[in-house]
Amino acid sequence: MKAEAFPQARKPAFKLTIDFGGEIGIKKSSAQITINHKLEDLIGRQVLAVVNFPPRQIGPFMSEVLTLGLPDSNGEVMLIGPTRKVPDGGRMF
């Protein structure tokens, strides 16, 4: 839904606001994805995230979910997500 710069983070990161649909709702996440992703490309993109971990304080920001990614050949995070639109809040099998 929303992606913002997070200049207060120790390591470069973005603040993400993610809509997981009716059952889970809207959650926030801090993600160290600044090398391979641009803020404007994240709006409307579906991602995978772990929603049943406890929230974690990242500086002044409370990260409620863990957004998932894989390292590229340089060790920088690439988000993972569906290649086609799926219903928000779907569970991974």
Tens-digit pLDDT profile for residues 44-81: 999 999 999 999 999 999 999 999 999 999 999 999 99
pLDDT band at 93 (very low <50, low <70, confident <90, very high): confident
Instruction: Give me the residue spans of the domains in the chain.
Output: 2-79
Q: Which CATH class is domain 2-79?
A: mainly beta
pLDDT band at 17 (very low <50, low <70, confident <90, very high): very high
d(CA 87, CA 36): 25
- The reported pTM is 0.91
Q: What is the mean pLDDT of the chain?
A: 95
Strand (E) or helix (H) holding 39: helix 39-42
Tens-digit pLDDT profile for residues 20-40: 998 899 999 999 999 999 999
CB count in 10 Å sphere of residue 33:
21
